[in-house]
Structure 1
Amino acid sequence: MEMEASSASQRLHFGKMGYGCQHYRRRCKIRAPCCNEVFSCRHCHNEAVNLLSNPFDRHELVRKDVKQVICSVCDTEQPVAQLCSNCGVNMGEYFCKICNFFDDDTEKGQFHCDDCGICRVGGRENFFHCKKCGSCYSVALRGNHTCVENSMQHHCPICYEYLFDSLKDTTVMKCGHTMHYECYHEMLKRDKYCCPICSKSVIDMSRVWKRMDEEIEATLMPEDYRYKKVWILCNDCDDTTEVYFHIIGQKCSHCRSYNTRTIAPPELPQ
């Protein structure tokens, strides 16, 4: 009996981590219901169809529509299930029958979020679902982030990849908007410190504002402009106010930010 159990276990786990693609380790392929072609996963389908095909044929595979899978060990096509109906191999150590999702690499900590309606990675205990933002966030952000309705239901403002089901890590900025973590840091490397969506400052800029104060104090404007005023809108606090014009920048009198834009230009000298 022990030998039979051992044999069954070996058959069940045969080929684990030995099959799959660059996106997932799994022991099956999927038949795309949209074009009836076979791919290792939906991302392989989307990349092949959207990059190589006729522009008029471009489309994305809906994971829940998958009905047939092909066992990578014995090449048997069958309805979606975790175990192969022919050779008995486990086609994915992690399997979600809702998403039709298989993955052998369980160290990712996969879990299905009913509110998101998709599988996530990182361990269920490390995430919570924010109903207003419409997505799962790290527990560190529970009660510690600005909610933006359906903030994940849009494209990354830098690379324009859809964020909700992206494989890349995302980050939540101070303003509540989201983008890819790597895109966020690339933006900072290029000295861009405002949210591409709402233009609010994404980091503490107080030191920069202090240096601008010093520079403005040391830079005297021409007499014709010295007492000219302009109306500004502050991107950080949304306050509108009238301030003295300066070529270096206009400071918000409410929150002291220089992240402002002029909404009424200074009068030109006659």
Structure 2
Amino acid sequence: MRENCTICHQMQSGMHGEKLDQSKEHVKIKDLRERGYMEHGCQHYRRRCRIRAPCCNEIFHCCHCHNEAKDDIRIVPKLRHDIPCHQIKQVICLLCGTEQEVICSLCGTEQEVQQNCINCGVCMGKYFCGICKLFDDDVSKKQYHCGGCGICRTGGSENYFHCDKCGCCHSTLLKNSHACVEKAMHHDCPVCFEYLFKSMHEIAVLPCGHTIHINCLNEMRQHLQYACPLCSKSVFDMSKVWEKFDLEIAATPMPELYQNKMVWILCNDCGRTSNVKYHLIAQKCLNCKSYNTRQT
């Protein structure tokens, strides 16, 4: 009986030793993968690799770095181009310098780009998307891949939904209230002209459904521009401003020659036409009481 206990004890000790060895190996692998975490990258991403662009065969930190260099207004138009991110097949590890194009040694089949370096084993990005070939160590952005958009977004999938008509992701706060505009983000920002669909800057959806960079919208506000640059509808609550217009117009009587002059106006906010008295300051829509109008 005691002999059996000794054997069992030895077996258990052996198993315990194996578990310790496995645990140490696991820690070792983890330490290898963590090397250089958040120490490398560019202004767009924290990552431990660079990419070789399949379009021009040049090396860049990321797709945005490529596009800033190759799609700039200073580049000869016929040479400008965007990188096809989904076609990236070669990445270079920043820690060991290995350029990996993963090809199976047995069958010769080209494999997908991997998250870990095939030479030193380092993790080249805590967040990795095999579709977009995106690496990023800064996971605080809450990156996620949207199948509808076909690209990676930030902000957490639980906070956004994809609208098929708009062709983009919107905040869940707008799910039942946003105005659908077909391909809303598939155009340039109407202020800075950066392509919005792949922009890294925060984007606002206006009440009319059009989209614009939040920074550009704030800049418009600073310059007292309160209408959508695309459709001219008011982008803020202007009721207090319209009240001030009422007071100013009441305090500014028109000369007798113009007191009975009538003009037709089109309201940019509600789209209705009205026949109203002319005033030098502004004309008020009879339907929605807006002063965002123009003569027709």
Match of 1:149 in 2: 182
Q: For residues 271 and 214 of structure 2, what CA distance do their matches in structure 1 show?
A: 26
Match of 2:172 in 1: 139
Q: For residues 53 and 20 of structure 1, what CA distance do their matches in structure 2 show?
A: 25
Question: Is 1:59 paired with 2:92?
Answer: no
Q: 47, 56, 79: which one pairs with 1:35?
A: 56
Q: 10, 16, 23: which one pairs with 2:37?
A: 16
Shift of 1:206: 1.1
Q: 222, 230, 253: which one pairs with 2:255?
A: 222
User: Counterpart amino acid of 2:47?
Assistant: R
Q: For residues 206 and 18 of structure 1, what CA distance do their matches in structure 2 show?
A: 50
Shift of 1:70: 0.8
Q: 92, 115, 118: which one pairs with 2:148?
A: 115
| Gapped regions of structure 1 (runs ≥ 5) | 264-270
Shift of 1:49: 2.1
Corresponding residue SS for 2:258: coil
From the CA coordinates, give the structure whose radius of gyration is larger: 2
Q: For residues 217 and 92 of structure 1, what CA distance do their matches in structure 2 show?
A: 64
Q: For residues 172 and 53 of structure 1, what CA distance do their matches in structure 2 show?
A: 32
Q: For residues 16 and 106 of structure 1, what CA distance do their matches in structure 2 show?
A: 11
User: Counterpart amino acid of 1:57?
Assistant: L
- Post-superposition Cα deviations, 1:154-191, rounded to whole Å, max 9, x if no partner, equal 11111110111100000111111110011111111111
Match of 1:71 in 2: 93
Number of equivalent positions: 263
- Post-superposition Cα deviations, 1:59-79, rounded to whole Å, max 9, x if no partner, equal 111211211111111111113
Shift of 1:247: 0.6
Match of 1:267 in 2: none
Q: For residues 212 and 16 of structure 1, what CA distance do their matches in structure 2 show?
A: 58
Question: Is 1:194 paired with 2:227?
Answer: yes
Corresponding residue SS for 1:115: coil
Q: Taking structure 2 as the reference length, what is the TM-score of the superposition?
A: 0.86
Corresponding residue SS for 1:70: strand
Match of 1:185 in 2: 218
Q: For residues 228 and 68 of structure 1, what CA distance do their matches in structure 2 show?
A: 72
Shift of 1:204: 1.1
Match of 2:272 in 1: 239
Shift of 1:56: 3.4
Among all aligned residue pairs of Structure 1 and Structure 2, give the percentage whose two residues are the same amino acid: 56
Match of 1:25 in 2: 46
Q: For residues 276 and 248 of structure 2, what CA distance do their matches in structure 1 show?
A: 17
Match of 1:45 in 2: 66
- Post-superposition Cα deviations, 1:111-167, rounded to whole Å, max 9, x if no partner, equal 000001000011111111112211111111111221111111111111110111100
User: Counterpart amino acid of 2:172?
Assistant: V
1:151-166, aligned counterparts within 5 Å?
Answer: 151-166=184-199
Q: Taking structure 1 as the reference length, what is the TM-score of the superposition?
A: 0.94
Higher helix share: 2
Q: For residues 46 and 141 of structure 2, what CA distance do their matches in structure 1 show?
A: 11
Match of 2:4 in 1: none
Q: For residues 19 and 210 of structure 1, what CA distance do their matches in structure 2 show?
A: 55
Corresponding residue SS for 2:260: coil
Corresponding residue SS for 2:294: strand
Shift of 1:53: 4.3
- Post-superposition Cα deviations, 1:30-73, rounded to whole Å, max 9, x if no partner, equal 00011100000011111122346444322111211211111111
User: Counterpart amino acid of 2:69?
Assistant: A
